[in-house]
Structure 1
Amino acid sequence: MAESAKEELFQLIRRLGGYLSVKMSNFFSISLQNLDSRSVGAVAGLAVAILFTWRLLRSPNGSQRRQRKRQGTAPSSSGVDTHSNTTLVPSGVCATSEDSRAQNVVDEFFQPVKPTLGQIVRQKLSEGRKVTCRLLGVILEESSPEELQKQATVRSSVLEVLLEITKFCDLYLMESVLDDESERRVLVALEDAGVFTSGGLVKDKVLFCSTENGRTSFVRQLEPDWHIDTNHEIISQLARFIKYQLHVSPIRPERTAANVLSTSSLEQFFGCI
């Protein structure tokens, strides 16, 4: 009986090995830097799945052996063959069934895992560590300094992306305003939206200037990996100096340079809508 169990385990490992050899090349093509706790847990899950699959495949055979043993030792008063009602299953059918079960375990493990928003942010930003971004039209609902003299409203749809960026990048927000009251409104709106609670962004990294040229100077001084803006002229001026830029515009503009990408909104760029 022990020899039979060993043989079953050997056959299961052999079958799993065949399927794993096909799957592993694709699985390990994923960069190690993208592995997280979910991936490590999945590897542990595979080991558990192999163990339980072996026990599952072993269980029916063990039951059949015990049943045959009981039938063989039980007294027969009628003289009728005790095995006459036993259903004989061809060994080829059993092997096919076990192959199918083993393949199902492997296929289920190697189902593609949807990347998290954090992984998408890092991939889209090409692992960039410093990002500058204007507020109007990107983070705020308002699109002009004149509107900020009345109100400042953070776009709810962009919050999740914004917070993820602050986890991985040194983020600076900037805008040109017409008065000190506009600055206060913007900071209050950001604070009420919870932007400063994550620890990745502080008020000192929200910069204000009086002109559009002032924002260009901020970006040049900070030398970010990415700059995000809605002003086509600023995007064009900075194309020579900034590694990557994202032009946010409701109308897809003509591409000005190879390092300039365009999107209708920040959250759309990261696939959130």
Structure 2
Amino acid sequence: MADSFKEELSQLIKRLTLKISNLFSTSLRNLDTKSIGAIAGLAVAIFFSWRLLRSPGGAQRRQRKRQSTTSASPGVSAQSTASVAPSGVCSPSDDSRVQNVVDEFFQPVKPTLGQVVRQRLSEGRKVTCRLLGVILEESSPEELQVKGATVRSSVLEVLLEITKFCDLYLMERVLDDESEKRVLVALEDAGVFTSGGLVKDKVLFCSTENGRSSFVRQLEPDWHIDSNPEVISQLARFIKYQLHVSPLRTQKTAANVLSAPSLEQFFGSM
């Protein structure tokens, strides 16, 4: 039994060594959260693997296996029994248990939406974003007058994550004061102002597209998000990064301009 345990532990160490070797095949500065988490789980994996191999159930199964072999052939000597089932060789079930424990602790760690947002925004701290066609279902000021304002449910989670670590400003061109009120009510009903990261004073309104461009240049954000290609083009040389939201595939206009069908798809959230 002792020889069998030593062999099993040896096999476990070999597998863990191979895993760690793969993790360090790149330089330390390139290690991501997944790799660091896997290294941290090494000690836990060894501990639980040892507990699993030393569990009474494993010892009892090995004991029963030896007893059944002896009772089936009572005339066979101990030497011949040992030659049939050497104690130092792991059974397939033991080998599978060890592999399952190793694989369980080295499963890829899926990043949270907050981590993805920070990574995609390159740790930018100030963001300006148009409302129509990005945050709202409506795509024109005229629709706001006729239909009112509706916040897209699929973008809400991403929007709230941005407000947690970014200074976010929302802005839009409107045709009247009633449209402003409708937009603010829609945002409030959606819970945008309850997270603490966004206040009504950071929702800006203007009467022209040039007015929105002027807002962005005055605020000097790290990122601007817009659905109007003309505004994106005008701001390309003033803003570090821009995201052009368009359902149609667009041609890249500048090196600092990215594109996506929607804000949530840019962050990989559907």
How many equivalent residue pairs?
A: 260
AA at the equivalent of 2:192: V
Q: Distance in 2 between matches of 1:66 and 1:121?
A: 54
AA at the equivalent of 1:148: L
Tell me the residue number matched to 1:50: 46
SS of equivalent to 2:90: helix
Alignment partner of 1:181 is 2:178:
yes
Alignment partner of 1:233 is 2:234:
no
Tell me the residue number matched to 1:217: 214
Tell me the residue number matched to 2:124: 128
Tell me the residue number matched to 1:75: none
How is 1:92-111 mapped onto 2 (pairs within 5 angstroms)? 93-94=89-90, 101-111=97-107
Tell me the residue number matched to 2:155: 158
Given that residues 4 and 87 in structure 2 are in contact (C-alpha distance below 8 angstroms), is that contact kept between their aligned partners in structure 1? Answer: no
Q: Deviation of residue 162 (structure 1)? A: 0.8
Which of residues 202, 206, 219 is equivalent to 1:205? 202
In structure 2, runs of 5+ residues without a counterpart are: 68-73
In structure 1, runs of 5+ residues without a counterpart are: 71-78
Alignment partner of 1:148 is 2:149:
no
Q: Deviation of residue 91 (structure 1)? A: 4.7
SS of equivalent to 1:174: strand
AA at the equivalent of 1:227: H
Alignment partner of 1:22 is 2:21:
yes
Q: Distance in 2 between matches of 1:214 and 1:20?
A: 56
Q: Deviation of residue 25 (structure 1)? A: 1.7
Q: Distance in 2 between matches of 1:58 and 1:118?
A: 41
Q: Deviation of residue 120 (structure 1)? A: 1.4
Q: Distance in 2 between matches of 1:100 and 1:156?
A: 45
Alignment partner of 1:139 is 2:140:
no
AA at the equivalent of 2:261: S
Deviations along 1:181-222, one digit per CA (max 9) or x if unpaired, are 111110000000111111111111101111111111100011
Between the two proteins, what is the percent identity of the paired residues? 70
